[in-house]
Amino acid sequence: MNSALEIKGLKKNYGNFTAIKGIDLEVKRGEVFGFLGPNGAGKTTTIKTCAGLLQPTEGNISICGFDLQKQGSKAKKNLGYVPDDPYLYEKLTGREYALFSARLYGENGQKLTSRVEEYFELFEMKEDMDKLIGGYSRGMRQKTAIISALLHRPALLMVDEPTANLDPKSARLVKDIFQNWKDQNRTVFMSTHVMEIAENLCDRIGIIHKGEILAVDSVEKIKGAEGSSLEEVFLQLTGAKDSEIREMINELMEDTD
Amino acid sequence: MILRHISLLIGKEILIVRNAYFSSHKKILSTLGVGAVFFLIMLAVISSLRRGFNSLLEAIPPEMAETAMVSLVAVIFLWLTAIIFLSVVMDSQKKFFHTADLELLMATPVSPGLVFSFRFLIFVLFSSTTLSQLLIFGFGPLFALGRVVGAGIDFYLLALPVAYLYLIIPAALGILLIMILLKFFSPKGIFRIAGLFNIVMTVAWIAFITGDQGRILAFIVEKLGEWDFLFYLLRPLDAASEITMGLMGFEISLWRPFGELSLFAIGGLGIAVYIIRKLYYPIYDRLKSVTVQEKKYSPGVKKTGFQPGVVLTEWKMAIRNYEMAQGALGMGTMLLAYFFVLFSIKPEGGVLPFLLNLGIVGFCTGTIVSIFLTPAAILEDQEVRKRQYWLLKVSPINGKTAVNLYWQSFFLPQLILGIPFLALGHWMGGNGLRLFFPAVLVFLVMQTTNSFLAYLVEYAGFAWGNNVSPIIRFLRDFAPILFYPVFLFFLGLGYFYDRLAFLVFLHSMSQQTVLVLSGGLLLILIILILVPGRKKTAEFWERMEL
């Protein structure tokens, strides 16, 4: 069994609106997979459905070979999830939240306690880990959510916009952690709008637009032989032409003047 | 520019109301439906109150009727004053200072003074805090009085607007009080002051109930005579009562009290707006920084301490939330006062009043626990609940475990908190068990009903959360309350079997036997609801989308 995540025919409707139109995707163990797409393309819906927060209208999702619908607990045990705007319990401290989260996954003991301290130290939050989350900045909340998702060492880490709210140093740290995760034959599945991250960190990327996957391949193959940048390819695939965008901006600026 | 900003702010409020209640045919129908249900309930309340007022008036000599009517009107307004004042004090921190759109508005070119004044006026004049209290506690009693005296159409058209005009005064005073307190004390300090105030009030209440009430009243009247300046403070109440009496048809001039009341209301609003423009920003700023400082303080957090699990974590979060503790203290005081009334007056009203009494005690106990253990934001906003549950939802916990954890979080503290109530009940009248067990049973039933309703809401195809239709929301929020009389009825059968004719077949048994039978029946009924309720809730959890 080599797949960390397997999506087959996934469809998700919100009332009459179809957000995901029957996508298939396989993410292997030991790879960093980037999920790209414009706003409203279906990235977060896909990730939330894979995390069990939304029910698929059609299709199947397997995490490390466990069917999310039929073997939910086993599948989720292998999953770590960081939402794009994590809501954390404001009346818990960072340390308490991290311990609470890890214990939900069956982690326990002195080893866990030390691991929590190590992670907070790594993210330069050791001094703040015993303060209530209610007093944290957005960046600190994001770091706490990432720490909590790593503690049970999941085989598949799903992260929605991993570097949102993070300062450059912390963003770099997160990238290094993802690299390290991959070296341990674990998988990272992340959505991002930052092309630089996708280009430098991801082994493969998938581009989703209007609920359909337009391309899945390695960064090099998607960029093609012409030497285009990933940004240009992305804009072309998602229907936004660089020259048209510039023209619209110019018109708007003239109107403003 | 100011007028433009005012119109924009008003426009925003209108849009919010329109989108919430009138944006589609479905919503309009639902809003009208809820309005009709409310109106029907109010008609029943008016009819019941009218009978009560009539019997009261029949019991006194005719020459005293007008005096009695004056007292009744004054009591209604006094009651409204207390309710509105306390509601505003309790709600203002949450609804007046901590509102999500304030930072947005403060970043716009609208003058902060205008933003604060507008927020104040909206809160006093149009918030649910004042309007709902007026409708719930003013509409019924005033219209019932109108029916008793056979008032004309002008009374029905003008009584509520007059009450509304009057209620601006206690609402504005409530906000001013909280603002002045916040100027000098932290929110935690105010909580302590409120706690102290509650204790003083409770002690005074106990002294009144258990002491020589005639002597105490004589003492109060004597002191009021010495401090007659206090009556000037109650002048608006007098004016509102006089207008209401005049509208009912009594020979009282309307213009003078109306002028006085308008002067007090408009003048009071003007002064309040002036003070708020001066005080709001420093307080808002201070509240924000105080919040951060207080939140950074983590009481009793051990570095490598005992972390036993979800249930304790839920409690820990709840106990750290002093806003909930404040609510719990308020409810606790109310309950305490209620106990004293119940046991001191000893009403001999038969089965129905007894069941209602038990129901109120059960409801209060359940509410205290809910307030104490459920963050206010979760009670009010399902979306927040959804957001809070994402972690549990993505972790390897199945629906049954989640329901078990949820129930343990609610029921265990109720049992623990129930022990002091039990002791109190025994101390006051030897009825602790009688009061406590129905409360626990009813709370169990209420939780199950909630889960059933959640299931029904979803099954019926309505979205769970804030988008749910007003009728379903109304049912979801209020239907569980209907279970109180129904379930307590079974216990009532046990207590009053010898008074109820259709239970004649039980008359040869001892009361203990009948109590065991009725209690057993109640227990069976609860199990019949709890077991499938738990299953359905677990299924709901599995399918719930966040």
Instruction: Give B433 or B317, the one with higher predicted confidence.
Output: B317
Higher pLDDT, B200 or A20: A20
pTM of the model: 0.63
Kindly give the confidence (pLDDT) of every residue in chain A, 257 residues in length, as a single tens digit, with 9 standing for 90 and above: 689 999 999 999 887 888 999 999 999 999 999 999 888 889 999 998 998 888 888 999 999 999 988 888 888 889 999 988 887 877 778 888 888 888 878 888 889 999 999 999 999 999 999 888 878 888 999 999 999 999 999 999 999 988 888 888 888 999 999 999 999 999 999 998 888 888 888 999 999 988 999 889 888 888 776 667 778 777 777 776 666 767 777 777 776 55
For chain B, give the percent of residues with pLDDT over 90. Answer: 0
Q: Is residue A136 part of a domain?
A: yes
Residues of chain A whose C-beta is under 8 A from some C-beta in B? 48, 51-55, 72-74, 76-77, 79, 81, 83, 86-87, 89-93, 95-96, 99-101, 103-106, 110, 113, 130-132, 134-135, 148
Which residue range(s) make up the domain with A142?
Answer: 89-153
Local confidence band at B299 (pLDDT 50, 70, 90 cut-offs): very low
Q: Give B 286-325 residues with CB within 8 A of chain A.
A: 291-292, 295-298, 301, 303-304, 307, 309-310, 313, 316-318, 320-321
* DSSP letter for each residue of B264-322: HHHHHHHHHHHHHHHHHHHHHHHHHHHHHHHHH--TT--TT-----HHHHHHHHHHH-H
Give the model's confidence band at B292: pLDDT under 50 very low, under 70 low, under 90 confident, else very high: very low
Select from B301, B303, B388 the Cβ nearest to the Cβ of A89.
B388
Best CA proximity match to B368, nearest among B340, B410, B404? B410
**Does residue A48 belong to any structural domain of this protein?**
no
Residue A148 in any domain: the answer is yes
Total domain count, chain A: 1
In a domain, A200, yes or no: no
Establish if A64 belongs to a structural domain.
no
Smallest Cα–Cα separation from B405: which of B532, B480, B527, B314? B314
ipTM of the complex model? 0.71
Q: Is residue A110 part of a domain?
A: yes
Contacts for A152 with CB less than 8 Å, ≥ 6 apart: A77, A80, A102, A105, A106, A107
Nearest residue on chain A to B390, alpha-carbon basis:
A53
Of the candidates B39, B271, B17, B267, the residue with the CA atom closest to the CA atom of residue B136: B39
Residue reference for tokens 């004056």:
B70
Per the CB < 8 Å rule, is B396 touching A89?
A: no
A66 is a domain residue: no
Say if A103 falls within a structural domain.
Answer: yes
Confidence (pLDDT) at A120: 95
Res. B316: pLDDT tops 50: yes
Higher pLDDT, B163 or B337: B163
**With contacts defined as CB-CB under 8 Å, which chain A residues touch B388?**
87, 89
**What pLDDT is stored for residue A25 in this prediction?**
94
pLDDT at B282 over 80: no
Contact A174, A146 (CB under 8 A): yes
Tokens 């603002």 sit on residue = B179
Average pLDDT, chain B: 68
Q: How far apart are CA B196 and CA B46, in angstroms?
A: 37
Contact B394 A51 (CB under 8 A): yes
Say if B512 is an interface residue toward chain A (CB within 8 Å).
no
